[in-house]
């Protein structure tokens, strides 16, 4: 199994969540061993996707370099990771990635248009060798060894629509597209009002998020899945864990996980080489993973 990129450049324009302004996004192929590289075309700054470039995780995963940032990268990265793409240049002309409809479905369609192609260097994956866990009170995120990849997430909110929800994704590209990609981000009306008072979330609307007041969902079309909230948390987690720098094989488990806990988990994993093993996928090793990304 070989490293991948996209066959041709593709682009789209969407609204940025925080500034509410149009953002142009363009994806371009990169050669083997390049990784995922973000580029701000408005200022000419490139920011490689590595954990040490994460500068904020309060409301989204934000990367930065020399004081310049790109925000809300996790939905795009979730789709890129699900498609098994190793090398890609992501160009935006602003400081955030377009929010689209609040899910990763638009990015899946964009990647389908771009077409994933193999390069000439074997693909590397990370095998999780030991349990790695980050806790904050009763909240936790955890990686553990497993012969396959599974995301097991539970959330609990004191809201009559959400309550407690749990979902397990047995990872394949098709399962991701069918079960996760269409799940939208969500927020509460009082939070949106507060953020707007601070000049944030200016692009947020019922077109790109599920919004709830104290008792109900405000979106007239309702939910795409009965448990859309926890499914979106898995979507976010997949994007956040892409900061590892390659696809991994192991189980991810979380209770009330967040961008911040996911970032701390990637750092904890990478700081001790005994936690993992990086292998090149050659020969018999490739068969199961090839099925996952078919």
3-state helix/strand/coil string of the chain: CEEEEECCCEEEEEEECCCCCEEEEEEEECCCCCCEEEEECCCCEEEECCHHHEEECCCCCEEEECCEEEECCHHHHHHHHHCCCCCEEEEECCCECECCCCCCHHHHHHHHHHCEEEEEEECEEEEECCCEEEEECCEEEEEECCCCCEEEEEEECCCCCCCEEEEEEECCHHHHHHHCCCCCCEEEHHHHHHHHHCCCCCCCCCCCCEEECCCCECCCCCCCCCCHHHHHHHHHHHHHHHHHCCCEECEEEEECCCHHHHHHHHHHHHCCHHHEEEEECCHHHHHHHHHHCC
d(CA 204, CA 228): 18
Closest of 168, 154, 178 to residue 229, by C-alpha = 154
Check if 170 is active-site: no
**143: Cα within 13 Å, side-chain hemisphere:** 28
Q: Which of 39, 232, 259, 263 is catalytic?
A: 259
d(CA 183, CA 105): 8
d(CA 193, CA 257): 24
Name the residues annotated as catalytic.
259
């Amino acid at each position: 199994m070989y490293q991948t990129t996209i066959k041709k450049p593709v682009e789209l324009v969407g609204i940025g969540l925080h500034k509410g302004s149009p953002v142009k996004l363009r994806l371009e192929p990169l050669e083997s061993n390049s990784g995922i590289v973000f580029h701000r075309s408005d200022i000419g700054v490139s920011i490689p996707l590595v954990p040490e470039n994460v500068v904020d995780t309060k409301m989204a995963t934000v990367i930065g370099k020399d004081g310049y940032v790109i925000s809300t990268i996790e939905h795009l990265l979730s789709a890129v990771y699900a498609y098994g793409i190793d090398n890609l240049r992501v160009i935006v002309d602003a400081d955030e990635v377009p929010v689209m409809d609040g899910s990763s479905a638009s990015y899946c369609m964009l990647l389908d248009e771009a077409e994933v192609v193999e390069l000439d260097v074997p693909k590397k994956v990370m095998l999780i060798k030991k349990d790695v866990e980050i806790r904050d009170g009763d909240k936790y995120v955890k990686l553990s060894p497993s012969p396959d990849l599974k995301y097991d997430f539970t959330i609990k909110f004191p809201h009559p629509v959400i309550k407690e929800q749990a979902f397990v994704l047995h990872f394949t590209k098709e399962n991701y597209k069918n079960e996760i990609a269409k799940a939208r981000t969500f927020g509460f009306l009082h939070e949106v009002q507060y953020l707007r008072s601070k000049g944030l979330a200016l692009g947020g609307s019922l077109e790109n998020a599920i919004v709830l007041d104290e008792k109900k969902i405000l979106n007239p079309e309702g939910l795409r899945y009965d448990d859309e909230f926890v499914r979106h948390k898995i979507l976010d987690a997949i994007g956040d864990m892409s900061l590892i720098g390659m696809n991994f094989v192991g189980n991810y488990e979380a209770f009330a996980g967040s961008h911040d806990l996911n970032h701390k988990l990637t750092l904890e994993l990478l700081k001790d080489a005994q936690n993992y093993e990086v292998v090149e996928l050659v020969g018999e090793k490739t068969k199961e993973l090839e099925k996952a990304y078919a």
